[in-house]
Amino acid sequence: MKADMFRLDGKVVVVIGAGSGIGASVAKGVAQQGGTTICWDVKGDTAEATAAAIRAEGGRAESGVVDITDEAVLNAALDGVVTAHKALDGLVCTPAINVRKSILKYSGDEFDRVVKVNLRGNFNVLMATGRIMTAQKSGSIVLFSSIRSIVTEPRQAVYSMTKAGILQLAKTAATEWAEQGVRVNAVGPGVIETPLTAPIKAVPEWYAAYANKTPMRRWAHADEMAGPTVFLLSDAASYVTGTILYADGGWLAADGRFTPPGI
C-alpha cells in the first residue's frame, strides 16, 4: 500500500463551479494534495479569485470561464487543457440550480431551466470528458448528486429528479468506460452551507430543522466536501467506480427526528 495514495501530485484536475461554495473548496483541496487545479466557473472573476487564492498558498492553479450548458465552449476548453498539460487526470462538476415550488405551481420554463443545468449540463460534461479520458485510457470523473437522489421533500420534485438522474448518469458512464480505465462516481452531500442554501439559512426554524435531522446536529461546511471528492479522484479509490459517496452527516441513516426516552 502506497503511503501517498491520497495525494494528487502530478495530476491535472478540472473543477467546474470553482468560483464558490463546494467547488471552491474542492479546487483548493485538489491543490493542497499536490494537484494542478483548473478552476472553471460561469463567472470568470470568481474562478480567478479561487485560483489566485491557491497560488497565494504555493499551489498550482489556472482559471477560465465555462458554461456547462454550452457544449462547444466546454469541448474547446477541455481540449485546451489537454493541449497545455498533455493530460486530463480528473474532473469534478459541482454546478446546480434549484427552483423550490410545488409540482402544481411549476412552470414549464422553470422545469426546463433546472433540467438544462443539472441534467443536460452534467451530461455535456460527461460526454466531453469521457471523449478525452477514454482515448487516453485513464481518468476519474466526479459528479455532484445529493441526498435528494434518495429522499425528497415538498417543493423539491424537479431538483430531486435531476439529482437522481445525475447518479444514474454516473453509474452508466462507469459501466461503459471501465474497460478504458476511466472511473466515474458521485458525491452526495447533505445540507451544506453554500450560496445555494442561503435562503434556508435565512429562516432560523428551517435551518434548525435541517440541522436537527442529522445525527451530528449540524450543517456541513463546504470544505468538508473536499475530502470525499479528493478521495474519489485519488489512487486510493482505484477500485471505486459507479457509486455514490454520501457525505451527509448521517442524514440518510437517521429515521425520524425523535429520540425515545430512556435511550
User: So which residues are the catalytic ones?
Assistant: 159
Q: What angle do CA 55, 196, 122 make, to 5 degrees?
A: 75
Instruction: Name the nearest CA neighbour of 141 among 152, 151, 127.
Output: 127
Q: Which positions ≥6 away from 217 have C-beta within 8 Å?
A: 211
Dihedral (CA of 23, 25, 29, 32) sign: positive
Say which DSSP state 35 is in: P
Cell of 255: 429515521
Cell of 250: 448521517
Beta bridge partners of 48: none
Residues counted in the chain: 263
Contact assessment for residue 140 and residue 188, using Cβ atoms and an 8 Å cutoff: no
| Distance in angstroms (rounded) separating the CA atoms of residues 252 and 205 | 21
Element holding 52 (H helix, E strand): helix 44-56
Element holding 247 (H helix, E strand): strand 244-247
- Taking each helix axis as running N to C, give the angle between helix 71-85 and helix 121-136, from 0 to 180 degrees, rounded to the nearest 10: 30
